[in-house]
């Protein structure tokens, strides 16, 4: 499990006072307001800690003003960087809820023990998540993230047990 989780990517600057526009990767953009600190991962892989001074919203983007970034030139240097958060700063998740980053790469087995492949991606349709399972040959299978299908998630053992209901 990674120590850091990606919360978003800085895609542009806003105004002249050092604000940046962020495409958020989280389902709850208000998380940015509750974080004591975040980490900026630049293209070279360097990670630096930053405190958030102010958070606002514009359309589907989060606007962030970081402490110590006060000009458009300073903000421009952050463009294309990723915003990471220390897992410990997010608190615990409710039972049965997982970070997508923790599910990617898990082996997926049927209840009978047949290996279907690995979790390659997860996306949300609004009604529920869709798990993209890819086998060794590259064949994809889409499984709805519902209780009738996803029977067990065991991150420690690196596996998910599924029930292939009729039609899957």
CATH 2.40.30.60 placement within the chain: 4-88
1.20.1530.20, 2.40.30.60, 2.60.40.10, 3.40.50.970: CATH of 4-88: 2.40.30.60
- Domain boundaries 100-162, corresponding CATH code: 2.30.30.240
- Per-residue pLDDT of 108-167, as tens digits, reads 999 999 999 999 999 888 788 999 999 999 999 999 999 999 999 999 999 999 999 887
Q: Which residues contact 64 (CB under 8 A, 6 or more apart)?
A: 10, 19, 20, 22, 32, 52, 54, 55, 83
Q: In this structure, are residues 36 and 51 in contact, taking their beta carbons and an 8 Å threshold?
A: yes
Long-range contacts of 148-157 (CB under 8 A, 24+ apart): 151/111, 153/96, 153/98, 153/103, 153/106, 155/1, 155/98, 155/102, 155/103, 155/106
d(CA 83, CA 7): 6
Strands 107-110 and 159-162: parallel
- Per-residue pLDDT of 37-74, as tens digits, reads 899 998 777 899 999 999 999 988 999 999 999 999 99
CATH 2.30.30.240 placement within the chain: 100-162
Looking at residue 162, its pLDDT comes to 96
d(CA 103, CA 130): 12
């Amino acid at each position: 499990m990674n120590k850091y989780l990606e919360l978003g990517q800085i895609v542009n600057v806003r105004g002249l006072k050092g604000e940046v526009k962020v495409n958020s990767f989280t389902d709850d953009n208000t998380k940015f307001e509750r974080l004591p600190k975040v980490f900026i991962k630049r293209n070279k892989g360097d990670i630096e800690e930053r405190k958030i001074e102010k958070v606002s919203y514009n359309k589907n983007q989060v606007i962030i003003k970081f402490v110590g970034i006060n000009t458009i030139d300073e903000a421009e240097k952050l463009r294309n960087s990723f915003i990471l958060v220390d897992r410990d700063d997010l608190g615990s998740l409710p039972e049965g809820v997982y970070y997508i980053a923790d599910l990617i790469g898990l082996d997926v087995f049927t209840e009978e023990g047949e290996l279907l492949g690995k979790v390659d991606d997860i996306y949300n349709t609004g009604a529920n998540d869709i798990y993209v399972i890819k086998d060794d040959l590259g064949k994809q299978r889409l499984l709805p993230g519902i209780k009738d299908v996803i029977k067990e998630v065991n991150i420690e053992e690196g596996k998910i047990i599924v029930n292939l209901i009729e039609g899957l």
